[in-house]
Structure 1
Amino acid sequence: MTSERIRRWKLALGDDDMDGLGERDQRLSRALSALYESEGSKGRGGLGASSPKVSRWLGDIREFFPAPVVQVIQKDAFERLNLKALMLEPEFLSTLEADVHLVADLISLRGAIPEKTMETARMVVNRVVEDMMKRLQSKTVEKLTGALNRSQRTCKPRHADIDWPRTIRANLRHYQKEFNTIVPETLIGFSRKTRTRADLDHVMLCVDQSGSMASSVVYASIFAAVMASLPVLSTKLVCFDTAIVDLTEDLADPVKVLFGVQLGGGTDINAALAYCETKIERPSKTHLVLVTDLYEGGDATSMLARVAALKQSGVNVIVLLALSDDGRPSYDVRHAGAIAAMDCPVFACTPDQFPDLMAAALTRQDIGQWAGANGIEVVRHA
C-alpha cells in the first residue's frame, strides 16, 4: 500500500490512528473528528460551547477545504452539534462562511438575535446578497429585457439594438469571400417603444415561507428585487405561511426584504392566492409564480379551485416546487398532479435556470416544453 493511501486511511479512521501523520494532517483529522466523531464518542472530538474553540475549528476547516466544502461541514455542525446558539454572538458570526443557508438561519433566528449582534447579522446578509446579485443580476436583466423587446422588431434599429444572429442569417447571400465577411444590407433589431402601465407585463412571486422552503425564499427575494429594478416589468413579492406579508414596497432594498420574511410556521396557500387575486389588474398580462412544496395546511379544495380560476381568467400560473440548488424537493404529489392537470407547469427550478424560465414565460412559450428541453422533470397529472 502506498504512503498516500495509508495517509488517507488514517485520516478516514480519525483520532484513533494518527501515528505517522504530519502536524497539518493531525490538525485536519482533529477538525473532522470534532464534528463527525462527537456523537456517542466519549472523550473524543466535540466542539463544546466555547466560542473561541469553535472559531479556531472554523479557521482550520477553511484552511483545509474550499468554500463549498466548508459550507457543507458548517451546515452539518449546526445540525449535529446545535451550534445555532453561538450565531447570536457577533464575534462568532463574523467568522462564518456566509452562504444562502446561513442567511436563512439568520432570518429564522432574527427574533432572538440581541442588539449587539444584529448589525453583524445585517453585514453578513448584505455580503451574501451582494454576491448573489453579482451572480444573478446580469443574466436576469439581459434575458428579461431581451424577451420583452423581442416582439417589437424593426429594420432600422439603433446599433445597440441590432439582433446580430437574425441579421447575419438574413444577409448570408451577401457574403464576401475575398474579405471573409458578410456585408449586411438589411439590419434586423428591436424597436424601443415607450411602455405605458397598461403595456407592462406583471410578475407576481408568491412564496411559501414555511421552514422547508428557506433557501427558496432567499433566492426568490433576490430575483424579485432584480426584476423590480426593470422599468419594463411590474413586479410584486408576496410571502406567506398562515399569515401574508406583501414586501413589494421594500424591493429596492433586498436586505430589508429578507429581514421582513418570517421563516417557519404553517402554510395557507389558499389564503395567499386569495390575496394575490386582489392585486391582479390585468390577468392576461400577469405571470403568477407560486413557489411552494404544496403541503397545504388550509383549505386544499378551495386552493385548487382558486388555481383553476386564476388559470381560466388568463393568468399564466407557474408552480415551482423549489427555487434552490438543494436537489429534488419533497412535495405534495396529489396537489402537484391536480394542478398539472389544469395545464399549469409544476416543477423545481435552480437559480441559474430561473432567468431563462422567466424569459420563456414573458414570450408566452410553452413552459412545459421549455422545461423538457432543459432537462427539467415536470410533474405529470394522473
Structure 2
Amino acid sequence: MTLERWRLLLGEAGGACLGGGRLDDESAGRDAALEWLYGRDEDLRERGVRQSGNGPSNLTTFDWLDDITRLFPKETVERLQRDAVERYEIHDLVTDPDVLARIEPNPALLKAVLHTKHLMNPQVLRLARRLVEQVVRELMNKLATEVRTAFSGTKLRRPGRLRVARNFDMTRTLRANLGHYQPDTRKVVIENPLFFTRTRRHLEQWQVILLVDQSGSMTDSVIHSAVTAACLWGLPGVRTHLVAFDTNVVDLTSDVDDPVELLMKVQLGGGTDIARAAAYGAGLVDRPRRAIVVLISDFYEGGDAHRLVRIVRGLVEQGSKVLGLAALDSQANPDYDRELAQRLADAGASVGAMTPGELAAFVAEHVGR
C-alpha cells in the first residue's frame, strides 16, 4: 500500500515503485484524477513528478469532481478542490452551475466564490450564495459556542455554592487549608475547597471596531471577521462595527447581522491604505476608554506608514485598546510585514494573530471588568 501511494504521488515516473506491476482499476482512476489536476504543473514536471507526457486529459471539471468524490476520502477531496481553485485557478468549480449544484461546500470553495463572484451570472450567483450560506452557517455554529463560553459570566470574588472545576478558587482554598500541611509528604490536604460564583454583573457598553484588510491575501481573515462580528452583534455590553478596506474604506456595520450578505458585498483584491482605515476607525470611537480597535491586516502598507503609527499611538494614548492582528482565522499563522508590525507594537498596540475564539475571549475579558 505504501509503494502504491508513492506511485500515485509521483505519477508514471514512480512506476518502479510497483516493480513493473500495474495499478488496479480503482487506483488507476485515482492516478488519472491526480494527473488531471497536477499534470498541469510545470514545476512538478521539472522535478520529475507527474510527467506523464500524454497530453491534456479529456476529463471535464464535472467528471473530475465526480471521480475524486468517489475515489478519495473527504479530507483528500477538500484538499484537491482547494488546490484546484487556489493553486491552479480552475474557476469553473465555482462558476459552472452543474458543478455548483453537485459540489459539497467547504471553506476552500467559499474563498473561491468570494474571489470569482464578479464572473458569475445571476443564476450561478444564486447557486454560489447557497454554498456561502452553508459554510458560513457551519462557521457560525462553531464560533457561537466559543463566544457564549467566553461571555458566560465574570468570576466575582465571593463564595459560591456551585462546585464545578471551572469555578475552583485555588488561592482562597490554599489559604484556608494551610493548617492541614503535611511536612513528610510536602502536601496540603484540602478539607474545605472554595469556589467562585459566576454571575453576570451589569456591563458598561464597549465598542468593538473591526477594521479588516480585504486584499487578496487576507481572504480567510475577511471570512472569519464577518462571522466573528455576527457572533458579537447584540451581545450585552458590546456594540460592534465592521469596516472593510483596501485603498478605500467601506463601513459594513449595517450588514453585520447577516454575514452572508456582508461577504457577498466584499470586493477582494486591490491596493492597501491601512492608515486611511485606521483614521476612519478612530473617528468611530465614542468613549476612548471603552473602545477596542482591532486592525486586521498583513501590514503591507500601500499608504502612509508614518501616519498609521501616529494614529495608533493616538488611540493608545487616549485609552483605547488597539489590537493589530496579522491574521484572524482558524490557523492564526500569518505572513506579514514584521517591521511595520513592530512599529505599531512600539506605539502601544498589542500585535499578533488570533483565532476568532481567542478574540472573543479577549473582548469578554475587557467587557466583563
TM-score bin, normalised by smaller chain: 0.7 to 0.9
Secondary structure at 1:234 match in 2: strand
Match of 1:12 among 9, 20, 34: 9
**Which whole-Å CA distance do the structure 1 matches of 2:172 and 2:77 have between them?**
48
Q: Is the 8 A contact 1:153 1:190 kept in 2?
A: no
Q: Does 1:324 align with 2:332?
A: no
**Which whole-Å CA distance do the structure 2 matches of 1:238 and 1:290 have between them?**
10
Tell me the residue number matched to 1:264. 269
Q: Does 1:117 align with 2:117?
A: no
Counting only pairs closer than 5 Å after superposition, residues 287-298 of structure 1 correspond to structure 2 as: 287-298=292-303
Tell me the residue number matched to 1:369. none
Q: Does 1:82 align with 2:92?
A: no
Tell me the residue number matched to 1:189. 197
**Which whole-Å CA distance do the structure 1 matches of 2:8 and 2:200 have between them?**
62
Tell me the residue number matched to 1:68. 75
Q: Does 1:165 align with 2:175?
A: no
Tell me the residue number matched to 2:143. 136
Match of 2:63 among 51, 56, 67: 56
Query: 1:31 corresponds to which letter in structure 2?
Result: A
**Which whole-Å CA distance do the structure 2 matches of 1:238 and 1:269 have between them?**
12
* Cα-to-partner distance string for 1:218-237 (whole Å, 9 max, x where unaligned): 01110110011412311111
Counting only pairs closer than 5 Å after superposition, residues 23-42 of structure 1 correspond to structure 2 as: 23-39=25-41
Q: Is the 8 A contact 1:153 1:191 kept in 2?
A: no
**Which whole-Å CA distance do the structure 1 matches of 2:171 and 2:313 have between them?**
44
RMSD, aligned CA: 3.2
> Percentage identity across aligned positions?
33
The alignment's TM-score, normalised by the length of structure 1, stands at 0.79
Match of 1:92 among 99, 102, 114: 99
Match of 2:24 among 22, 26, 36: 22
Secondary structure at 1:125 match in 2: helix
Q: Is the 8 A contact 1:215 1:323 kept in 2?
A: yes
Query: 2:168 corresponds to which letter in structure 1?
Result: P
* Cα-to-partner distance string for 1:275-312 (whole Å, 9 max, x where unaligned): 11221111111111110011111121111100110010
Q: Is the 8 A contact 2:168 2:195 kept in 1?
A: no
* Cα-to-partner distance string for 1:109-157 (whole Å, 9 max, x where unaligned): 22221111111111100110111112111111211343xx33x555578
The alignment's TM-score, normalised by the length of structure 2, stands at 0.82
Q: Compared with structure 1, are the counterparts of its residues 310 and 168 closer, same or farther at alpha carbon in structure 2 (3 Å cutoff)?
A: closer
Runs of at least 5 residues in structure 2 that lack an aligned partner in the other structure: 43-50, 181-189
Secondary structure at 1:14 match in 2: helix
Q: Which runs of 4+ in 1 moved over 6 A?
A: 159-163, 181-184
Tell me the residue number matched to 1:44. 54
Tell me the residue number matched to 1:279. 284
Question: Cα distance, 1:238 vs. partner?
Answer: 1.0
Q: How many residues align?
A: 346
Runs of at least 5 residues in structure 1 that lack an aligned partner in the other structure: 176-180, 365-382
**Which whole-Å CA distance do the structure 1 matches of 2:263 and 2:123 have between them?**
19
Tell me the residue number matched to 2:184. none
Query: 2:62 corresponds to which letter in structure 1?
Result: S
**Which whole-Å CA distance do the structure 2 matches of 1:230 and 1:69 have between them?**
38
Q: Is the 8 A contact 2:85 2:109 kept in 1?
A: no
Question: Cα distance, 1:97 vs. partner?
Answer: 4.1
Question: Cα distance, 1:321 vs. partner?
Answer: 0.5
Tell me the residue number matched to 1:372. none
Secondary structure at 1:83 match in 2: coil
Secondary structure at 1:298 match in 2: coil
